Amino acid sequence: MCDRHSLDGAIRNLFSPAQPAEDAGARPAPVARLEPVRPGRRRKLWELEEKHHCPVVGSCLSLEEIKKIARKSGSQGHGFDAYRLHVEAVSVSCSRNAAAEAMQRTLERKFAHVVRRFDQARTDAEVLEMWREHLDRGEVAGALWATLTHRSSSPETRQAVHADMHMLSHQVGAGQAADLRRLGFLEEECARLRARERQSAERQAREIAESAARLRSLREEHDRLRAAAEAAETLRERIHALESGQAMVAMGRRLLLLEATNAELREAARRSLDLERRTAALAAENARLRGERDAMAAERDALEKLWAASPAPSSECGGDCASCPDRLRGRCVLCVGGRVPLLSHYRQLPERLGMRLIHHDGGREESLSRLPDLLAASDAVICPTDCVSHAAYHQLKRHCKTAGKPCVLARSSGIAGFAAALARLALGRADIRPQVAGET
């Protein structure tokens, strides 16, 4: 049982400012005084049996947590080793005080999840079964606190838990000693194995380097042999082709291909020559058209000069209309045949001379049935003989001779030929002329 004076001294030594060492050493063993526990409520730390405080404080609270509680109580914790801190904490936990309440809060917060798990147990047997399960898994600290404070745990269950913890402490101590000896042996064995491993690694590195060198040499030899084999295979294929006649067949195919290519080149050369000839012909035609254009311009200038030098029409005309260049001014001239693309140029000269030009293509696209009406509506006719149908040519000749209508038969359908025919018509030198009085 905990003594009140011993508890007060322990509290002063551990959780108050430090006291001299000699006072702390002269303290009688604490005697626990159990307080009654209300039914249906979990036990508090100070309500446990005296023998349970030591395993609870030692297993459930760490040394740092005990020091933290002591510092919060005002003590700096100097001059106490781990054992004396443990003894003082066990002494303080025997009764309700500020330090014991701090320990209670720390334990409840630290093992809240375990306590909630144990709250599912409704009977003492279930509590003991859950303790055995946690003990087997090595989850001792939280299970110890939850079992000892559980509302349904009986004194027998708490005694069984105390016995398990007592034997576990012996086993842990013995196990630690054996583990220390085993650790020393294992460290020596580890050092030997590491040395052996270094030697093995060095040997393996040398073997790997030698193997890599041999592999490079073998690869080079393999590449050389493969190149030689490929060259030999190529020679064998050529020999086989020559022996089987395939080479001659291939040469024949190549010859045929070359002949076909040669024929294509010759055809291309022929087309090129034709193009050159056509180009030369077009150049000659272009030169002819230029000459024709120049001649037309010269004839047009001469016609304009002649027209400018001709006298103005007079009311005192002597009646020689055949020799009067102004007799066609304001008249209608029909052009039968000629080049349709040059029709706009055909119209320019008559319009400048005061004439009106009408056109018939000579039966190429227009019907010859329109020709009589056009001949009847015109005062004179111009017919380029190189670009007119025979039917149209004979029809206009018959009409002009019958009607006595002036008609000029131009040899060329170019603009220069048309201008010359127009000049002849204006000067009265038509190929078919109307008869003048006195002529036979």
Give the start-to-end residue ranges of the domains of the chain. 4-173, 261-306, 325-426
Residue 380's H or E segment, with its range, is strand 380-384
| CA torsion angle 276 277 281 287 (round to 10) | 40
Burial status of residue 247 (CB atoms within 10 A of its CB: 0-12, 13-18, 19 or more): middle
Note the residue count of the chain: 440
Give the tokens for residue 3. 């003594």
Cα–Cα distance between 43 and 1 in angstroms, integer? 18
pLDDT tens sequence across 83-118:
888 888 898 889 899 888 999 999 999 999 999 999
According to the model, what pLDDT value does residue 29 have? 41
pLDDT at site 309: 52
Q: Is 142 exposed, middle or buried (0-12, 13-18, 19+ CB in 10 A)?
A: buried
Q: What is the pTM of this model?
A: 0.36
- Which pLDDT score, from 0 to 100, does residue 185 have? 80
Q: Is 80 exceeded by the pLDDT of residue 287? A: yes
Dist. CA 318–CA 307, nearest whole Å: 19
**pLDDT band per the 50, 70, 90 thresholds, residue 30:** very low
- Indicate the CATH number for domain 325-426: 3.40.50.2300
> SS3 of 432, please?
strand
Residue 35 has pLDDT above 80, yes or no: no
DSSP 409: E
pLDDT for position 173: 60
Give the integer Cα–Cα distance in Å for 245 and 243.
6
CA distance 403 to 380: 11
The residues that bridge with 382 in the sheet, in sequence order, are: 335, 408
pLDDT of residue 321: 45
Q: How far is residue 11 from each of residues 4, 94, 105, measured CA to CA in Å?
A: 11, 11, 18
Tell me how far apart the alpha carbons of residues 424 and 410 are, in angstroms, rounded to a whole number: 10
Q: How confident is the model at residue 176 (pLDDT cuts 50, 70, 90)?
A: low
